[in-house]
């Protein structure tokens, strides 16, 4: 696709590196020798077809021909393939892992697309047009036109109760979802409340039960009628599903034990936010600990705006 | 009482390739009636039960069922969704081995509540109340509502399985050797219980067993099967006290005198 390979372009030019640390300025150059965004065009087309079907039937798991990616299963092979298929040259990519932009997984996937697609990357939620995520939805409200790509380990919400794929497909087709509540019943009977903390099952558009990938249930309300397009990719299980913009997403619950998100008795130690998902981290050898925002971009933006926490 | 039979089987046949599972079985079952099916191992009892309870598609014949709304339907002409709904709401299926009929990994309460949740119950307190009611009804201590079925005795597991089926007030219950594998005193209590429940709830029941004691105690009418065919049918007392077919005579005379 690009100019012929030269030794210079193979040896990782400096601008790629700077693009990664400095948000969204110079556009990095695409590495020669790879097709645009790593995957071949036919594969991307087939994934886009699966995506169209997924968007047309919200919450329905569409099988797709998942490819081997240059990363292990469980690191986001599904998400990476979806991102590769939707990423255009003018897009700006943000990648987060557990809310953070600077963890290994996030850094390597961001660098991967900077190299193979030459797209701009950023850590700022509002600047990104495509956000690939593992385990979180950014705290900053999403806008129309943004695409969130989720990495999904196990797409089938009924797997816990039914081991057979043929049977779970039949259950989805016939809308036989009573068993989902058996799991919730069991939780209430045992712990007095629904104890599912992440990957909390939801019903999409009043029809399909869906696993929202292992995001904390704190993020479930952000799925409901979100202006952004949500795409889910499971590489090992070879499934793609989607929640189109402004689609109703309801978390399952009982009338007398309604769905609730977690809350914390304190605010973020760094930026003082009371409305974000907090991680508890150990800060020294004496067992000292702090609660800080799991969304690093949100926390940094707040501190830049002059907010300060107790620490 | 209604004019049409609850279940009407006509020339029901199931072949396994060239081998006969059951052949040309016809009978009517009326509401509140308990029908026993007896015969030796391999005589086609379970095949017949599986066909009747829509687990197995017959090779020929038809099964008509009169629904709660009074409409008579051909079981195998229904869509799969309707058939499965029928199985969850108007029918019950008690398997020989409670492990096949129960979810062993979830508590007794969840096992009883599952059918309610499957038909749309979403109030935890109500589901639990119902579960407690049916456990008590089946003589299981309501205190054990949160225990796992694997910690129950065999007899209790079997009663739990029945409770799980009765919670949506079915009109027809299929039982496959409900007392198999239980010791004699537990069997006797379970039989008493089933007899009381079928009488009190007006349940129609099809019981498959090889134990003539069970059918003498529970069933009104009897089908004797051999080699996949019904060799004798009639009132239970009549068949057991005055068997006509040589095979029935042999079966009756082979009961060990106590």
Query: What value, to the nearest 5°, has the Cα angle with vertex B184 and ends B181 and B188?
Result: 105
Average pLDDT of chain A is 90
Q: Which of A5-9, A17-21, A43-47 has the lowest mean pLDDT?
A: A5-9
Partners of residue A174 in chain B, C-beta under 8 Å = 80-81, 84
Strand (E) or helix (H) holding B212: helix B212-218
Q: Report the alpha-carbon distance of residue B113 to residue B160 in Å, rounded.
A: 11
pLDDT (tens digit, 9 = 90+) per residue, A159-174? 888 889 999 999 999 9
Give the per-residue pLDDT at B42.
87
Position B200 pLDDT exceeds 80: yes
Q: Which residues are within 8 A (CB) of A267 and not within 5 positions of it... i.e. 6 or more apart?
A: A273, A274, A291, A309, A310
Average pLDDT of chain B is 91
Q: Which of A193-197, A238-242, B223-227 has the highest mean pLDDT?
A: A238-242
B223 HSE (CA, 13 A, CB side): 27
Chain B contact present for A254, CB below 8 A:
yes
User: Would you place residue A241 in the very low, low, confident or very high pLDDT band (cuts 50, 70, 90)?
Assistant: very high
Tokens matching residue A79? 């998400």
pLDDT (tens digit, 9 = 90+) per residue, A23-81? 545 688 888 889 999 999 999 999 999 999 999 999 999 999 999 999 999 899 999 99
- Chain A and chain B share a number of CB contacts under 8 A equal to 55
A109-112 long-range Cβ contacts below 8 angstroms, 24+ apart: A109/A76, A109/A79, A109/A80, A109/A83, A110/A20, A111/A16, A111/A20, A112/A38, A112/A70, A112/A80
Q: Report the alpha-carbon distance of residue B142 to residue B162 in Å, rounded.
A: 15
Predicted ipTM? Answer: 0.86
Position B254 pLDDT exceeds 90: no
Partners of residue B146 in chain A, C-beta under 8 Å = 189-190
φ, ψ at B207 (rounded to 5°):
-115, 120
Q: What residue has token string 């104890």?
A: A195
What ranges make up the beta strands (E) of chain A?
62-63, 92-97, 120-121, 130-134, 147-151, 202-204, 208-210, 229-234, 239-243, 249-251, 278-282, 289-293
pLDDT (tens digit, 9 = 90+) per residue, B75-99? 999 999 999 999 989 999 999 899 9
Strand (E) or helix (H) holding B32: none
Chain A contact present for B119, CB below 8 A:
yes
In contact, A204 and A248? CB cutoff 8 Å: yes
Q: Report the alpha-carbon distance of residue B48 to residue B12 in Å, rounded.
A: 8
Instruction: For residue B224, list its beta bridge partners.
Output: B38, B232
Alpha helices, DSSP H only, in A147-306? Answer: 165-173, 178-191, 220-223, 296-304
Position B151 pLDDT exceeds 50: yes
Q: Report the alpha-carbon distance of residue A65 to residue A234 in Å, rounded.
A: 11
Q: Report the alpha-carbon distance of residue B171 to residue A124 in Å, rounded.
A: 62
Query: Which active-site residues of A does the annotation give?
Result: 59, 268, 271, 293, 299
φ, ψ at B161 (rounded to 5°):
-60, -40
Chain A contact present for B145, CB below 8 A:
yes
Give the per-residue pLDDT at A311.
74
**How far is C-alpha A196 from the chain's CA centre?**
19
Q: Report the alpha-carbon distance of residue B56 to residue B185 in Å, rounded.
A: 34
Q: What share of chain B is helix, strand, coil (3-state, %, to 5)?
A: 45, 25, 35
Shortest CA distance to A300 belongs to which of A106, A114, A140, A137?
A140
Q: Cβ B123–A255 below 8 Å, yes or no?
A: yes
Position A21 pLDDT exceeds 70: no
pLDDT (tens digit, 9 = 90+) per residue, B15-39? 999 999 999 999 999 999 999 999 9
Q: Cβ B124–A255 below 8 Å, yes or no?
A: yes
Chain A contact present for B110, CB below 8 A:
yes
Q: Cβ B80–A170 below 8 Å, yes or no?
A: yes
């Amino acid at each position: 696709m690009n100019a012929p390979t030269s030794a210079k372009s193979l040896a990782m030019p400096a601008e790629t590196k700077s693009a990664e640390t400095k948000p969204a300025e110079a556009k990095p150059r695409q590495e020669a020798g790879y097709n645009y965004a790593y995957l071949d065009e036919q594969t991307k087309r087939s994934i886009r077809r699966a995506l169209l079907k997924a968007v047309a039937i919200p919450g329905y798991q569409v099988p797709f021909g998942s490819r081997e990616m240059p990363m292990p299963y469980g690191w986001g092979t599904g998400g990476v393939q979806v991102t590769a298929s939707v990423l255009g040259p003018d897009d700006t990519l943000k990648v987060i892992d557990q809310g953070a932009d600077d963890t290994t997984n996030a850094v390597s996937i961001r660098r991967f697309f900077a190299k193979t697609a030459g797209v701009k990357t950023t850590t700022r939620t509002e600047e990104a047009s495509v956000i690939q995520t593992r385990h979180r939805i950014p705290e900053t409200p999403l806008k129309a036109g943004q695409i969130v790509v989720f990495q999904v380990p196990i797409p089938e919400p009924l797997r816990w109760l039914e081991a057979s794929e043929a049977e779970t497909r039949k259950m989805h087709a016939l809308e036989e979802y009573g068993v989902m509540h058996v799991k919730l019943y069991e939780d209430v009977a045992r712990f007095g409340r629904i104890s599912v903390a992440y990957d909390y099952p939801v019903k999409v558009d009043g029809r399909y039960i869906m696993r929202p990938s292992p995001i904390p249930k704190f993020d479930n309300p952000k799925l409901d009628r979100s202006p952004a397009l949500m795409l889910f990719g499971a590489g090992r299980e070879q499934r793609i599903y989607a929640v189109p913009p402004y689609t109703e997403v309801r978390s399952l619950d009982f009338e007398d034990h309604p769905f609730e998100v977690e809350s914390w008795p304190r605010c973020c130690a760094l930026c003082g936010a009371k409305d974000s998902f907090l991680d508890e981290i150990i800060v020294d050898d004496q067992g000292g600990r702090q609660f800080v925002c799991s969304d690093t971009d949100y926390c940094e933006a707040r501190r830049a705006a002059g907010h300060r926490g107790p620490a | 009482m209604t004019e049409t039979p609850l279940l009407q089987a006509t020339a029901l046949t199931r072949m396994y390739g060239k081998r006969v599972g059951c052949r040309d079985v016809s009978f009517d079952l009326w509401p509140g009636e308990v029908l026993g099916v007896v015969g030796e191992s391999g005589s086609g009892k379970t095949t017949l039960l599986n066909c009747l309870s829509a687990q197995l598609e017959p090779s020929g014949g038809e099964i008509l069922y009169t629904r709660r709304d009074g409409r008579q339907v051909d079981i195998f002409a229904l869509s799969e969704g309707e058939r499965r709904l029928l199985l969850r709401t108007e029918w019950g299926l008690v398997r020989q081995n409670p492990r096949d009929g129960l979810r062993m990994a979830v508590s007794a309460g969840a096992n009883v509540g599952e059918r309610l949740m499957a038909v749309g119950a979403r109030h935890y307190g109500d589901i639990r109340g119902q579960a407690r009611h049916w456990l008590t009804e089946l003589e299981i201590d309501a205190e054990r509502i949160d225990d796992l079925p694997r910690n129950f005795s065999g007899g209790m597991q079997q009663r739990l399985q029945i409770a799980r089926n009765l919670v949506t007030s079915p009109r027809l219950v299929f039982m496959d050797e409900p007392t198999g594998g239980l010791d004699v005193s537990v069997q006797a209590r379970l039989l008493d219980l089933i007899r009381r429940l079928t009488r009190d709830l007006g349940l129609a029941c099809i019981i498959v067993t090889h134990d003539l004691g069970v059918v003498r105690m529970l069933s009104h009418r009897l089908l004797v099967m051999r080699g996949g065919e019904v060799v004798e049918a009639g009132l239970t007392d009549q068949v057991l006290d005055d068997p006509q077919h040589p095979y029935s005579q042999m079966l009756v005379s082979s009961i060990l005198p106590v």
